[in-house]
Structure 1
Amino acid sequence: MATIVLAPLPVPGHVNPSLRIARSLQGRGHRVHYLGILELEDEVRAEGFEFTPLFADVFPKGKLSELRATAARLKGPRLLWFLRTQAARFNQALQRMVDGEVDDTLRALRPDLLICDEKLRHLSVIGHGLGIPVLQMNVTIPPELIPREAGAERGPGRGGAMPGERLLTALGFFPRLRPSLLALARKHHYPLKEARGMPALDRALSPELLLCPREFAEVRVPSAPGEYCYIEPCIDRDRREPDFPWERLSGERPLVFFALGTLAATSAHNLRILREAFLAAGRRPDLQFVIAVGSSMEPSMFDVPPGVIAVKVAPQLGLLRKAAVMVNHAGTNSVKECIAFGVPMVSIPLQFDQPDIGRLVELHGVGRTIAPRDFTADRLLAALDGVLKDPACKQACEQLRTHFLHSEQTREAAGPIEAFIGRRAHGGPAASAQPQATGS
């Protein structure tokens, strides 16, 4: 039995798939221990896993949710001042990492493997310095695996620098991520690389755990040996979902499920897109629309047409079991869940990695994409009709769904991870680990 420490980014799109990994490992007899801020504790313990908090005095329980809600409603100078004060909070935690607080915690846990979020690169460097094998859990698809046409929009990519990031950091508006990472790399003798203006990890030392079968990630571009460990799609089908007025659903009309993800409120396009979505729904009484406006908004803020079901958050898995099509934000988890239930989609890539994943939707032929700046009620209805009337979209979903089911049934998440632990335990060099060979 191995002791495995999991450290996801504390947002639902990263925590939810980690729970699937944790259950698979626990079911094979391994001890799974979560590491993170107190925001995660209740959910993790409710799922039956051990938990150790980091920086509990800097990020007390509920603080991260409070920060997100405050940032969403502030503008102008008040927002800048808020960002400056919160950057100081994050800098305090980063300095304590450099000073060795996380080192001490990991030494006490004595893990055989550290699975940390690809966004939490500092933890990978610390794990390497302590001699702990590390897998970087990547909940999206690395941009270098997604071909694009000339001029196509691309997301910021793996650890890419934001515009003006160094200036914002110097002025105190952005956490000192780069300086603290460089300090940790010096301390732990980690050979950082450079990618898109930012220090990057060496995937030969700490390969990336991709939460999908190879057929989903690699459309035209094959990965290099030793860089990726492909597993199942890690869809947590047993997760708890919010209540919903199921009795209001009509079984006679095709169901259009509209939801733009947890972080949509941070997009400048979000409010306009939602208004256009309600306008589109009012024009098509032949379709049944369910529209989730997001946790930071209320359905009462919109003109909801008769027959349209508007909620703050929706039970996504439950609705996908009934939906004819989903309108999403090209979030990797939402796209994978659509495929897992054989539901074609219309994607509106808002931000982050979503333009890349929207490109993947088109390459696989499982739906259409609409750029946020071009989104209107008319374009949405045209895209919906295009998807609903094109049997090739449904067929493409079913084809990928077969790969998803095969990977879930034959290996589960634990299989490739156990193989990786075995190779490292026998002293195999990082470059020859070949973790991608365990993928489908």
Structure 2
Amino acid sequence: MAKIFCIVDGHTGLLNVSLELSRRLRDAGHEISLGALTESRNKVESADFSWLELQPRYLSPGVAKGFGGAPLNKLAAAVRNRVGYKRKRERALAELALPAFTYLLQTDRPDLVIIGMECREYIIATYGEGVPILLLSPWFNGAYLPDLPPLNTLLAPNGSTGYQDAINLAWNQRLAKLSQQRQRRFRWSAGLDRESLLLELANRRGIPASAIDRLGWPAPFTIKGLPVAHTTLDALELPHEQPEFHHYLGPMVPSSPPPNEKGSEVDERLEEMLKRRAQQQRKLIYCSVSTMAEGIDDFLERVVQACAGRKDWLLIVALGGNGGRLDHIELPDNAYVFEWVPQLKVLAEADCSINHAGINTINECIVNEVPMVIYSGGRFDQDGCAARIAYHQLGVVGDRAEDDSVAIRSNIERVLTEPVFRAKISEVNRYAQSEEVRGRLLALVERVMAEGNPVL
């Protein structure tokens, strides 16, 4: 039995992934302690895991005082940051070095630390102490690779000779944008911005500049050479030459829905709707848009209009607490709107998922064999996920800005009636549930613990 720490930044999707991953490791006999940079103690302990107390994320004085606001305020902050610069820099580096966590590593000596890719100070501290690290990524491969487009683009092979040129252009555009942002931060913070401090800390703890990828995902940088566990499927990647330290574990989706935290009213309404659907043998369309932002009300209205009048369809819309509203329109009798639903329970019954290309929803659709109509939210990695769904024919990708209700209805009809989508997602589901894929987590953990950290 190994002692394993698991550390994530705490946003809901990755926390749920880490809980399922930790459950599988615990079932294999390992001792797991789980911590997050947001307050998630109740959720972790309710899943019967030991809570790992972590230091809060440190925002450097350069970020706190030197970025944003009116030009004169920023100029004053830049001047202020330069007063006592060395003292401020060393104090900030001392905080980022995580002395309490470093002491915990030295005294508890875990056999492995699984760390979310965004928890950079924890990665640096763990590497510096020589404890084996496995990086955890809920995303597809976002590293800078010359034959793979950036994860925030819709690029995918289309048979044209211009695909490689488009990849090159996308990386150059990303480089220009990131460089501009870095120059602006550095100018106003006098080098006390979080990225500059983390890079200095990495150098002091033995991570050379050659191991830093400042172009890939997630920004501001990742560390090349450390093993990365992606909770996505290699079968859904775009074609590229894969680095040997990237590993695909498949979806980390629990086998049963978590308890409903929203009360019995949601359950009663949902059960009523599902019973009605079964009696009338309607196709269930589930629309979830939890991280869409701009234009959400208009888009939801078009989705409702697309389903209106279809006596063979039944629509559930889950707003997900993102501020979207539908109380300004009269709903047809085949549409149900919820602030929140137990998504796994609904997907177990659904025939089609309309979603924003969030990777966690995509993984849950794969596990439940639900083909998709994708309207990307255009944030984070959503465009890259949408590109992969279209390329591998697990669904149809629409244009949220341009598609009217007629186009949305056409996309739903395609997913429901064209056999290729159901066949493809069933094929991917079988692969995800195969012993070969399900066994990768334990095999990778054993390998990383046996080999230790690579020399970067």
Q: Which TM-score band (shorter chain)?
A: 0.7 to 0.9
Q: Which amino acid aligns with 2:284?
A: L
Q: How far is the alpha carbon of 1:171 from its aligned partner?
A: 5.1
3-state SS, counterpart of residue 290 of structure 1: strand
Match of 2:331 among 305, 320, 324: 305
- 1:234 is aligned to 2:234: no
Aligned positions of 1:260-275 closer than 5 A: 260-261=289-290, 263-264=291-292, 267-275=293-301
Q: Percent identity?
A: 20
Is the deviation greater in 379-388 or in 99-108?
99-108
Deviation at 1:93, TM superposition (A): 9.0
Q: Which moved more, 1:161-170 or 1:316-325?
A: 161-170
Tell me what 2:214 maps to. 195
Q: Report the counterpart of residue 333 of structure 1 in structure 2.
A: 360
C-alpha distance in structure 1 between counterparts of 2:98 and 2:273, whole Å:
56
Q: 1:292 aligns with which of 304, 309, 318?
A: 318
CA-based RMSD? 3.5
Report which stretch shifted further, 15-24 or 365-374: 365-374
Question: How many Å apart are 1:30 and its aligned residue?
Answer: 1.0
For normalisation by structure 2, the TM-score amounts to 0.76
C-alpha separation in 2, matches of 1:38 and 1:330: 24
1:167 aligns with 2:184: yes
Counterpart of 1:220 (choices 226, 239, 244) is 239
Counterpart check, 1:125 vs 2:124 = yes
Q: 1:348 to 1:136 in 2, by over 3 A?
A: same
In structure 2, C-alpha distance between the alignment counterparts of 1:43 and 1:188, rounded to whole Å: 33
Code of the residue aligned with 2:430 in structure 1: it is T
Equivalent of residue 308 in structure 2, options 282, 290, 301: 282
Distance in 1 between residues matched to 2:309 and 2:170, nearest whole Å: 33
Structure 2 residue corresponding to 1:183, chosen from 200, 205, 208: 200
Q: Aligned residues, how many?
A: 394
Kindly indicate whether the alpha-carbon contact (under 8 Å) linking 1:16 and 1:239 is maintained by their aligned counterparts in 2. no
Partner Cα separation in structure 2 for residue 409 and residue 220 of structure 1: 19
> 1:39 is paired with a residue of what secondary structure?
coil
Could you tell me whether the CA contact under 8 Å between 1:349 and 1:358 is conserved in 2?
Answer: yes
Shift of 1:288: 0.5
2:138 aligned partner: 139
Aligned-pair distance for 1:412? 6.2
Counterpart position of 1:210: 230
Give yes or no for contact 1:154–1:353 (8 Å, CA) kept in 2: no
**Contact 1:299–1:311 under 8 Å retained in 2:** no
In structure 2, distance between residues paired with 1:316 and 1:214: 24
For residues 419 and 169 of structure 1, what CA distance do their matches in structure 2 show?
40
1:138 Cα deviation from its structure 2 partner: 0.7
Asked if the contact 1:241–1:314 (Cα under 8 Å) also holds between the matched residues in 2, the reply is no
List per-residue Cα deviations over 1:195-236 (Å, max 9, x = no partner). Answer: 3286633432x111011343233x4224122x2122232112
User: Compared with structure 1, are the counterparts of its residues 182 and 397 closer, same or farther at alpha carbon in structure 2 (3 Å cutoff)?
Assistant: same
* Pairing of 1:302-381 with structure 2 (within 5 A): 302-307=328-333, 308-350=335-377, 351-381=379-409
- Are the structure 2 counterparts of residues 272 and 203 from structure 1 closer, same or farther at C-alpha, using a change threshold of 3 Å? same
Q: Deviations over 1:104-136 (max 9, x none)?
A: 343344211111111222221211111011111
| 2:445 paired with 1:420 | no
Q: Distance in 1 between matches of 2:407 and 2:194?
A: 40
Cα distance, 1:34 vs. partner?
1.2
2:96/2:198 contact within 8 Å kept: no
Aligned to 1:104, what secondary structure does the other structure show?
helix
Contact 1:24 1:412 (8 Å CA) reproduced: no
Give the Å deviation of 1:37.
Answer: 3.1
Deviation at 1:237, TM superposition (A): 2.6
CA distance in 2, matches of 1:57, 1:230: 28
Distance in 2, Cα, partners of 1:110 & 1:360:
40
Change (3 A) 1:399 1:341: same
Q: Give the AA of the match of 1:7.
A: I
How much does 1:58 deviate?
A: 8.3
In structure 2, the partner of 1:70 is none
Structure 1: gaps spanning 5 or more residues: 60-75, 85-91, 432-440
Name the larger-Rg structure: 2
Partners of 1:300 and 1:395 lie apart in 2 by 34
Alpha-carbon spacing, 1:216–1:187, altered in 2? closer, same or farther (3 Å): same
Greater CA deviation, 113-122 or 140-149? 140-149
Q: Give me the TM-score of the superposition, normalised by structure 1.
A: 0.79
What is the distance in 2 between the residues matched to 1:93 and 1:380? Answer: 51
Q: Name the aligned partner's letter for residue 294 of structure 1.
A: G
Q: Would the alpha carbon gap of residues 50 and 343 (structure 1) be closer, same or farther in structure 2, given more than 3 Å must change?
A: same
**How far apart are residue 168 of structure 1 and its match?**
5.2
